[in-house]
Chains A and B, each alone.
Chain A
Amino acid sequence: RCMSSGVPQKKGGKLKWFILLPSAALGGVAAYGEFVDPEVKKLMEENVYSPFQEYVYKPVMDMIAGSGKPAEEEQKPLVKVIPAKPVEKKPEPEKTAVKAAPASPVPAAPAPPQPAGMSAKEREKLDIEQKLQQQREKEKAENTALEGKLQELMNVCKTGLQEASEIQNEVISAVKKHAQALQTAMDDKTDILNKEGQWNAVTEAFQKRGVVTDNAKKVMDSLRSEKEKLKAMVEEARNNKSTKSNKILNQAQEAYNTVSSKLNAIESAIAKSESENRGLVKFNDLVEEGKKKFQKELESLMPDVKPGKGKKLSEEELNSLIAHAHRRIEQLQHQLANHLALEKERIQEALDMQRKADESVCDRRIEDEAQKIKNNVDLEKQKWGEEARVQFEVELRQQLARQAAAHSDHLQEVLKVQEQELLQKYERQFNLKFIEERQAFQAEIAGWVARLKGIETAVENRAAAEKIAREAQDLWLACLALNGTIRRGKEEELAWEERLKPLGNEIVAVYDAAGNHPFVNMIVSTIPEKAYVRGVWTEDTLRERFEKVSSVCKKVAAIDECGGTLYKYFISYLQSVFISLRSYDVKNLNDQVDVESMDNFEILANASYWMDRGDFEAAVRYMNQLQGEARKVAGDWLKEAKLLLETRQAAFALTAFASASGLGTVF
């Protein structure tokens, strides 16, 4: 049938079950594991919770946190690096001997993982050590950096120096060449045709000289700057106390010194050569000047003519030229005369100038040398200072060691003495205390022993009382057994004679249970032997027997002990038929009885009456009064009855005794 619900089923209706059911199952299992069964919880933890945490939760958290995580990771390498550094620090010179000691154990325990139970002091110490270590490391780093830099600089300086020296040579050679070229160009009159070539050579040489000089300048400048840098670095290093005492500073200083001196030497050499050749250059310049002047004059005179042209000069021009030339020559001769006149002065001036130049050069050299010496002296001073320091350190350490040794010896002695003292004190106190304790203990023990003894006696008495009670119980039980046997005999037998049970065992039991009590002994001795050996008739059987006995006695009641004829018997029988025992008045037990007056019938009547009433003893007493044949007839019965009565009496006496003695022990 078609859907009548009205609500169309969604296609994705199953999806929610796919999500709900597993999550419900997981939740159920988790709750079960939480509250009911821990094993299930463990299983869940292994298989569900930890993979989830690893593969889902942590990556998500990392993505969200972003930078927070890397910092955490970076901290770890820093922590690990610190313990590794102390290995490199060993060549570092230590400040004091005290600080040397904590340095070695510290590398073993890097700072961050501090144990929880550390006191504040220990933590401080650790912090300080950490800081020291860090400082040392910083110094070390700086030193190494410094060393590196200085080494670099020194190398650079060295190479620069080499370069500079080379260049110096080049410069000097270039200058010389130039000078030579100039010289040849100016003085050499043989090769006039090649003057241009020579002048070209000169310019070439000049250019080359310029280039080389520039190069040299550059190199020297760079070298100077490097040298300055080195010096600055060395100064800085000296000022910075952490790197003050690095050996490399001395090396650097030396290198600086050499570099500066060499640089100065190079410069002075170059300057010297330059100054030497300056005169020549000046001369050249003057010549050039003169030439130019002449050129100008020529131009002014003859503006049209351009030198070097191939056109022939006109006469006028030539004449003017010659005139000019002559004029010029005169002028020059005049000048020369002047010059000759002033030659000396000029020479003096030149010498002065040269001297001045030489002096300046000399000064410079002296300055350089002075600087060099000063540097060397500084260096020496540094070296001596360091050596002195080192020695001082060594001596200080020795002294400290000695002091420490003395101190430790002293301490040891004092400690020994103190130890002895304390030991004595302790021994004394201990002995006192010990004696006290022992006394107290002994007193306690005595008290306890007394109590124990009391308890022992009480227990013994109790045991004795119990023993007596037990014995009384035994006796009582034995008596009870005896009574029982007397009352019942052998119950399983039917015939009266077989019911007899010898009382031997029971009586022996009673005898044993009583120990060796005289009363019991006496009573036991009264028990007739027949009871021991053969046993006694029980009262019940005797009662049953009594019927027959009584009837027979009644039949022969009238016959006396002589017996009688048959006739008498018959008459007696007849009499018994007509007499009823009930017709007699029965006497009370307490009345006095005149036995003689009673005839057998009366006796029998009484006996049977009392027998019927259960008073066995009364019956027996009466039966005992029978006379004649009746007596004979009842004889056996009587005997048995008497035996029973005797035995019973003894048994009752014993029971009474047992009860009495038992009763005594109960209270």
Chain B
Amino acid sequence: MASKRSEDEYGEKVNRAIVDTGVKMATGLVVGGVFSLVLFKRRTWPIAFGVGTGFGMGYSNAENDFQNKNAALLRRLQVDIQLHN
């Protein structure tokens, strides 16, 4: 965002991933906590569930961010064509 340099993209991606994951985990924590408090009679498993959900979501986002699916598809197709030929 601030820097448009390509080498900064990695760094920013990493930042984003961490921040995102953190936020999601925190939110999960909060939602889990709420759920725990409200629905599940103060058991600990919704908090963990929430945190884990948060982490998972964050991780998945980060992975999507880092990946370049189009390029992967293109590569697979190229390989297939080569294999075909």
Contacts of A548 in B (CB 8 A): 7-8
Q: In the complex, are the beta carbons of B67 and A562 less than 8 A apart? A: yes
The stretch that binds B, out of A13-21, A216-224, A549-557, A645-653, is: A549-557
Contact of B68 among A545, A562, A634 (CB under 8 A): A562
A637 to B62, CA, bound (A): 24
Tell me if A281 is interfacial: C-beta within 8 Å of chain B: no
Contacts A566-B62, A569-B66; A636 near B5 (Cβ below 8 A): yes
Q: In the complex, are the beta carbons of B62 and A632 less than 8 A apart? A: no
Q: In the complex, are the beta carbons of B75 and A549 less than 8 A apart? A: no
Contact of B10 among A560, A566, A633 (CB under 8 A): A633
Residues 1-44 (chain B) with a chain A CB within 8 angstroms? 4-11, 17
A87 to B75, CA, bound (A): 153
A623 CB → nearest B CB, Å: 11
Q: In the complex, are the beta carbons of B6 and A634 less than 8 A apart? A: yes
Contacts of A549 in B (CB 8 A): 7
Contact of A637 among B6, B11, B63 (CB under 8 A): B6
Tell me if B72 is interfacial: C-beta within 8 Å of chain A: yes
Interface centre among B4, B7, B68 (most CB of A within 10 A): B7
B82 CB → nearest A CB, Å: 16
Tell me if B59 is interfacial: C-beta within 8 Å of chain A: yes
Residues 391-437 (chain A) with a chain B CB within 8 angstroms? none
Q: In the complex, are the beta carbons of B10 and A556 less than 8 A apart? A: yes
Q: In the complex, are the beta carbons of B71 and A565 less than 8 A apart? A: no
B6 CB → nearest A CB, Å: 4
Q: In the complex, are the beta carbons of B75 and A637 less than 8 A apart? A: no
Contact of B71 among A552, A562, A569 (CB under 8 A): A562
Q: In the complex, are the beta carbons of B4 and A636 less than 8 A apart? A: yes
Contacts of B10 in A (CB 8 A): 552, 555-556, 633
B58 CB → nearest A CB, Å: 10
Q: In the complex, are the beta carbons of A637 and B67 less than 8 A apart? A: no
Q: In the complex, are the beta carbons of B6 and A632 less than 8 A apart? A: yes
Tell me if B84 is interfacial: C-beta within 8 Å of chain A: no
A496 CB → nearest B CB, Å: 9
Closest A residue to B63 using CB positions? A566
A435 CB → nearest B CB, Å: 94
A641 to B4, CA, bound (A): 16
Closest A residue to B75 using CB positions? A562
Q: In the complex, are the beta carbons of A552 and B63 less than 8 A apart? A: no
A566 to B55, CA, bound (A): 13
Q: In the complex, are the beta carbons of A552 and B11 less than 8 A apart? A: yes
Contacts A552-B11, A555-B10; A563 near B4 (Cβ below 8 A): no
Residues 50-85 (chain B) with a chain A CB within 8 angstroms? 59, 62-63, 66-69, 71-72, 75
Closest A residue to B76 using CB positions? A562
A556 to B10, CA, bound (A): 8
Q: In the complex, are the beta carbons of B7 and A563 less than 8 A apart? A: no
Contacts A552-B10, A565-B66; A637 near B72 (Cβ below 8 A): no
Q: In the complex, are the beta carbons of B72 and A552 less than 8 A apart? A: no
B65 CB → nearest A CB, Å: 9
Q: In the complex, are the beta carbons of A563 and B67 less than 8 A apart? A: yes
Give the interface size bracket for A toward B: 20 to 34
Q: In the complex, are the beta carbons of A553 and B7 less than 8 A apart? A: yes
Contact of A564 among B7, B8, B9, B66 (CB under 8 A): B66
Tell me if A635 is interfacial: C-beta within 8 Å of chain B: yes
Q: In the complex, are the beta carbons of B68 and A637 less than 8 A apart? A: no
A172 to B61, CA, bound (A): 207
Closest B residue to A639 using CB positions? B6
B74 CB → nearest A CB, Å: 8
Q: In the complex, are the beta carbons of A637 and B69 less than 8 A apart? A: no
A377 to B69, CA, bound (A): 186
Contact of A561 among B4, B11, B63, B75 (CB under 8 A): B75
A109 to B72, CA, bound (A): 142
A464 to B33, CA, bound (A): 91
Contacts of A545 in B (CB 8 A): 5, 7
B25 CB → nearest A CB, Å: 15
A601-633 toward B: CB 8 Å interface, digit per residue (1/0)?
000000000000000000000000000000011
Q: In the complex, are the beta carbons of A561 and B59 less than 8 A apart? A: no
Q: In the complex, are the beta carbons of A552 and B7 less than 8 A apart? A: yes
Closest B residue to A546 using CB positions? B7
A434 to B68, CA, bound (A): 108
B62 CB → nearest A CB, Å: 6
Contact of B6 among A555, A562, A566, A635 (CB under 8 A): A635
Residues 431-486 (chain A) with a chain B CB within 8 angstroms? none
A633 to B66, CA, bound (A): 12
Q: In the complex, are the beta carbons of A563 and B68 less than 8 A apart? A: yes
A560 to B9, CA, bound (A): 16
Contacts of B5 in A (CB 8 A): 545, 636-637
Q: In the complex, are the beta carbons of A637 and B7 less than 8 A apart? A: yes
Contacts of A564 in B (CB 8 A): 66-67
A634 to B10, CA, bound (A): 11
B8 CB → nearest A CB, Å: 8
Contacts of B71 in A (CB 8 A): 561-563
A115 to B72, CA, bound (A): 135
A548 to B3, CA, bound (A): 13
A123 CB → nearest B CB, Å: 122
Q: In the complex, are the beta carbons of A563 and B6 less than 8 A apart? A: no
A529-571 toward B: CB 8 Å interface, digit per residue (1/0)?
0000000000000000100110011011000111111100100
Closest A residue to B5 using CB positions? A636
A89 to B71, CA, bound (A): 154
A257 to B36, CA, bound (A): 205
A325-368 toward B: CB 8 Å interface, digit per residue (1/0)?
00000000000000000000000000000000000000000000
Closest B residue to A562 using CB positions? B72
A633 to B4, CA, bound (A): 11
Q: Which 3 A-B pairs have the closest CB atoms?
A: A563-B68, A562-B72, A563-B67
Report 22 cross-chain contacts, Cβ distance below 8 Å, ordered by A residue. A545-B5, A552-B7, A561-B68, A561-B71, A561-B75, A562-B72, A563-B67, A563-B72, A565-B66, A566-B66, A632-B6, A632-B9, A633-B6, A633-B10, A634-B6, A635-B6, A636-B5, A636-B6, A636-B7, A637-B5, A637-B6, A637-B7
Other A-B pairs, 20, CB within 8 Å; known A552-B11, A562-B67, A565-B66: A545-B7, A548-B8, A549-B7, A552-B7, A553-B7, A556-B10, A562-B72, A562-B75, A563-B68, A563-B71, A566-B59, A566-B63, A566-B66, A569-B66, A633-B7, A633-B9, A635-B6, A636-B4, A636-B6, A637-B7
